[in-house]
Homo-oligomer: A and B are copies of this chain.
Amino acid sequence: MDPSNGFEETSNHDIKSFFDSSPPLKNAAEIKRKTEEFIQLNSNSGKLVRRIVLVTSGGTTVPLEQRCVRYIDNFSSGHRGSTSTEYFLKAGYAVVFLYREGTYQPFCTLLPNNPLLECLQVTDESNITARPPYEKTVKEAISNSHAATSSGTLLKLPFTTIFEYLQNLQLIASLMSGLGSRALFYLAAAVSDFYVPWESMAVHKIQSSSGPLDMRLVQVPKMLSVLRRDWAPKAFCISFKLETDKDILLKKAGAALEKYNMDMVVANELLTRKEEVIVVTKGGNIIVQQDRTRAGAEVEEPLIKLIVDQHSASINSAA
């Protein structure tokens, strides 16, 4: 018996049993149809064949009850994923934006929490106008979003739970695998490490009358290896690590690069992640910083430029 083979079998078993015990994905047929049409449109639009990137964004939830009242949430505003989507679109990519319901949307990261009430007003003629200082921000948010969606280069798909996220990831990755090396996975979502298996979950609300609450959560099977190995083996794969402790961060990012055979791991430290990230690759670590000479410059601008260059190199070497 080959021990590594034994490990692989266990891993496949864990993944199969995770999906088998998940509640069925709602709208699976519609998600499949939309994604197929999107891939078709962007692979065959005249002479311009776009590269396609799946950007995942925001955190997943782990339900603690089947009729969900309580859940564990992984905090993520979706700022990284939504801003990166803008730069991928500018670079000519078509983007499938798989986002947590309620998190940031592309072109909207400069708006306040509740833009409808905070940025708009109804004028005397019962028209709607943007309030100062939001005139430009609001109009650009609306028109850029609509332009990207209606031109067919941006497909937005929402998720909430860990089950929905991983079911979507598997479905979309399988559909994108036909793109070969032109497919890119940019997995910025904050995915729960632990979950409560659906079948062992309380059906009704957990009662609070009987002392402290002890919970046992089990590890979510790591899907990165199976994404790389089975779902879309030729794609360029980028995963993310977020830690509050810098020492742990680089160690874990390097381990993830090896273990899951990623092309890049983007290492984020919680407090400085909007100014700087460290891109961990097999060729070494690359520090990427926002342009400090320009007000409002975003770290995603040089980050996506670096990724596009490395993705190009990877496509050329595969050709």
Task: List, in ascending order, chain B residues with CB within 8 A of A206's CB.
Answer: 193
Q: Which of B75, B146, B212 contacts A70 (CB 8 A)?
A: B75
Q: List the B residue with the shortest CB-CB distance to A72.
A: B72
For A172-199 the 0/1 string (1 means CB < 8 A from B) is 0000000000000000001011100000
A16 CB–B CB distance under 8 Å: no
Q: Which residues of B contact A128 (CB under 8 A)?
A: 120, 128-130, 138-139, 142
Partner of A72, one of B70, B111, B141, B243: B70
Q: Given A61-B73, A142-B122, decide whether A194 and B213 contact each other with a Cβ distance below 8 A.
A: yes
Contact between A215 and B218 (Cβ–Cβ < 8 Å)? no
Q: How large is the interface on A (under 10, 10 to 19, 20 to 34, 35 or more residues)?
A: 35 or more
Q: Is A116 an interface residue (CB 8 A)?
A: yes
Known A117-B105, A212-B194; judge A242-B69 contact (CB<8 A): yes
Q: Nearest chain B CB to A276's CB is how many angstroms away?
A: 18
Give chain B nearest CB distance to A149 CB in angstroms.
9
Tell me, rounded to whole Å, the shortest Cβ–Cβ distance linking A208 to chain B: 3
The contact of A117 among B67, B72, B145, B270, by CB within 8 Å, is B145
- Tell whether, in the assembled complex, residue A64 and residue B69 are in contact, meaning their CB atoms are under 8 Å apart: no
Which B residues are in CB contact (< 8 Å) with A75? 68-71
Contacting A142 at CB < 8 Å: which of B117, B143, B213, B216?
Answer: B117
Q: In the complex, are the beta carbons of B74 and A70 less than 8 A apart?
A: yes
Instruction: Kindly report which residue of chain B lies nearest to residue A141, judged by CB atoms.
Output: B116
Shortest Cβ gap from A273 to chain B (Å) = 12
| Across-interface contacts of A113 in B (CB, < 8 A) | 101-102
| Nearest chain B CB to A86 CB, angstrom units | 14
Chain A 53-91 interface 0/1 with B at a Cβ cutoff of 8 Å (1 = within): 000000001001101111111110000000000000000
